Structure 1
Amino acid sequence: MVSGLARVSAEVLVPAVTTVARQLAGALRRGPYGRWLSRLLDGDPQAEWLALVLLTISSALLTLLAIAAPNDCPPSALSLPLLVGGFLLHIRLQAMLLVPVGLGLLAQRLLRVPLGVRLGSALMVALAAVIGLLMSRHRSRLGLRGTRGDTMLLELAERTRDLGRLPDRLLDWRFHRALSPVSGAFFAGDFLLTSQRPDRDLLEVVLVDVSGKGSRAAARSMHLSGAFAMLLGSVPPEAFLPRANDYLAAGDWEDEFATAVHLALSPSTGRYRLFNAGHPPAAHYHRANGGRWELRGESGPALGIFAGTRYPPTAGRLAYGDSLLLYSDGLVEVPGEDIDQGIGRLLEAATPLLRYGGAADPAAELLQTVARNVADDRTVVIVRRLGAGS
């Protein structure tokens, strides 16, 4: 009885509290404080000067509190204005904040009886000053304060993912994708692009793997995804990889390239063309006669290596019950092992998922089965044409 009442109370109170919190947050954003904070985070000079004044006052108050109540407020509390300033102030103003903090330490050294300022507290404040200056320098280069730069990067990453959103259902087709950046990060060197043109009975899917790993690869990935997305759908399928290659080659990115596989599918007939630029071959699963795999896609050079490269298509047709598998090398490459062995493991794991069709999301299940803990970005796309028993 008690547990039931508690559950009902929680069901009633949690939405109510959430609603009130959202209303208060909205009111704050629309009020003068919210408008000032928004201007501050966007780098408005007047808002920054006011922030410097407030942080200077807080430093003075912390100094007075440490002198009046030496057992309750340590000198290291002066680290707080410095760290907050690192988020909010331009580096020039952050350097100016060092003056009132330094004077506060000196006043405590002379007037905070009998404790004074110990070496550990002084070192703590000095470390906060260094960290604050480094944070301020980084955000000054961005031209944004606080977490605005981080929010912008997250929005760009979300936009990149949206560019590769596959249709949920299309006639008798099902599409599945799974992306797993290295180390569980939000940003990846792999990206996916799609373009659907029903008037031409054409669906295009492009999987790109930018060279390298980590933040540098992710930055190039976001740059290229925008450029390639403008290109995809605006040129014939056979022209996409040559144009993308010329764009990358013209950029003169030293020792940097990208691999890509491009699928151009006719949903009404199941016919497709594959274009490959240095990428692992796509795999066509033929469900008839017990099921078999066929690797497809003659590979040309990676994008950005040689200008003027042409990428010949490989044509095929997905019959009812067939599937096509696109994947990045993170699923099949193992140091010291031939890539064919990795591809064999991938196809062996994919066979029961595609033959019996029991998995709700075969792409995610395949990624977890084959490459759960791999120090590389991993992406898999499954295109299925439903048939009897699928």
Structure 2
Amino acid sequence: MARRFRAYTLAAGARRDRVLFALALVVALGFILAIFTWPGRFPSITVAPLILLSGLYLSNRHLVALYIVIALGMSIAAPRLPTPGPTKIVMLSAIGALMVMMLVVASSRVRVGSIGFHSEDLLVELRDRIAQSAHLPGLPPGWSAEAAVLSANGEGFSGDFMVADRTHGGRHLEVALVDVSGKGREAGTRSLLLSGALGALLGALTPPAFLAAANSYLVRQGWEEGFATAVHVDINLDTGEYSVGNAGHPSAVRYSAGAGTWGLLEGGRGPVLGIMQGVQFSRTHGRLGMGDALMIYSDGIIESRGHDLTEGTDRMLGAASDAMVRGAGSIADAVVSAARSGDSDDRAVFVIVRR
């Protein structure tokens, strides 16, 4: 009988909701009766756990009905409580506020389709998958790479994301850094969809076709705020030759060990992704020698209110130059720390150095 009851109550759908509502209603009536019968020995705060649990497990319709019963019961039992009138008012107001807050939580939970204490696990898994796609693969001797992706205001989701993989039999490294419209949680779902799609395109297409395919995918989604900027880098780890394609993204920069300076790569630019179908993207080419480096970044690194892009770019290149000269510490972390926007915007950096 216990196994049957457990299976009955845990089964998904309206049947489970009715059973849980009936149990919660019985418990609520029991609490109210106890408070009414023993007002000095059974405090009204005992209904709080029931309010919290029901907000996590009941459907909205049943939850509203239960809270109405609790509110009416507490209003009837309150005159018997041995407490001053103002205290009773504060107590009833606090219980009412708790029920309103749980109704808001329940509405969000129902939209996601999750119940219980582990309803946030889905969001955690999505966040971890985005972070995993940015994991850099191992590189052969003579190369080092690093990346940093930080969300606005320390949130778990970022509108900036990166995908990277060894392609062409491991002889090439391909990296795409994408900035989805919006930031933080607002762009988190779009980042998840795009990171999976663009990660699958790495190595499946030739580098010149990558951004065109990404643009076609994004246009087909039909999102109201579906545009994104992106930069795609393909590096031959045997020869150091590279190509960069840019879709409305800030220009990549290259460090020349001979001159000891960073320079912008202005070529290979195209429109942002997701605006129009059939767009082609040109690419700029070059070669990394010993001691040279290549860096791509998001606009959160160089943009900020009250400052122009030139100032932000100079600030970024100065931080990168100092990190290259010191030869210790993280170049990506130094660039992110120097970002004008601070924590108010998403920030992402990828740097590869040929030693």
Q: SS state of the match for residue 179, structure 2?
A: strand
Aligned to 1:284: 254
- Residue type of the partner of 2:252? A
Give matches, 1:122-201, under 5 Å. Answer: 122-199=92-169, 201=171
Shift of 1:259: 0.5
Distance in 2 separating the partners of 1:297 and 1:226: 28
Q: 1:223 to 1:36 in 2, by over 3 A?
A: farther
Give matches, 1:295-310, under 5 Å. Answer: 295-298=264-267, 299-310=269-280
Q: TM-score normalised to the size of structure 2?
A: 0.88
Q: Is 1:338–2:308 an aligned residue pair?
A: yes
Q: Which moved more, 1:96-105 or 1:188-197?
A: 96-105
Structure 2: unaligned runs, 5 residues or longer = none
Q: 1:128 to 1:175 in 2, by over 3 A?
A: same
Aligned to 1:9: none
Q: Is 1:212–2:214 an aligned residue pair?
A: no
Structure 1 contact 189–209 (Cα < 8 Å) conserved = yes
Q: Deviations over 1:43-62 (max 9, x none)?
A: 55555445434433442443
> Which of residues 344, 351, 362 in structure 1 aligns to 2:331?
362
Q: SS state of the match for residue 342, structure 2?
A: coil
Q: Is 1:320–2:290 an aligned residue pair?
A: yes
Distance in 1 separating the partners of 2:66 and 2:123: 29
Q: Deviations over 1:267-310 (max 9, x none)?
A: 01111000000111111101124x12221152211111222111
Aligned to 1:75: 44
Q: Deviations over 1:208-240 (max 9, x none)?
A: 001222322222212221222222221111111
Give matches, 1:218-297, under 5 Å. Answer: 218-289=188-259, 291-297=260-266
Distance in 2 separating the partners of 1:353 and 1:36: 61
Structure 1 contact 270–319 (Cα < 8 Å) conserved = yes
Distance in 1 separating the partners of 2:141 and 2:324: 18
Q: 1:233 to 1:100 in 2, by over 3 A?
A: same
Aligned to 1:376: 345
Distance in 2 separating the partners of 1:72 and 1:179: 55
Q: 1:147 to 1:241 in 2, by over 3 A?
A: farther
Q: SS state of the match for residue 166, structure 1?
A: coil
Structure 1 contact 36–47 (Cα < 8 Å) conserved = no
> Which of residues 72, 85, 91 in structure 1 aligns to 2:54?
85
- Count of aligned pairs between the two proteins: 350
Fraction of identical pairs, as percent:
33
Q: 1:125 to 1:168 in 2, by over 3 A?
A: same
Structure 1 contact 94–132 (Cα < 8 Å) conserved = no
Q: SS state of the match for residue 334, structure 2?
A: helix
Structure 1 contact 330–374 (Cα < 8 Å) conserved = no
Distance in 1 separating the partners of 2:146 and 2:107: 43
Structure 1: unaligned runs, 5 residues or longer = 1-31
Distance in 1 separating the partners of 2:224 and 2:33: 57
Q: 1:275 to 1:147 in 2, by over 3 A?
A: farther
Q: 1:215 to 1:157 in 2, by over 3 A?
A: same
- Residue type of the partner of 2:162? L
Q: Deviations over 1:344-383 (max 9, x none)?
A: 1111111121234211x33123312345824110011110
Structure 1 contact 43–144 (Cα < 8 Å) conserved = no
Q: 1:252 to 1:196 in 2, by over 3 A?
A: same
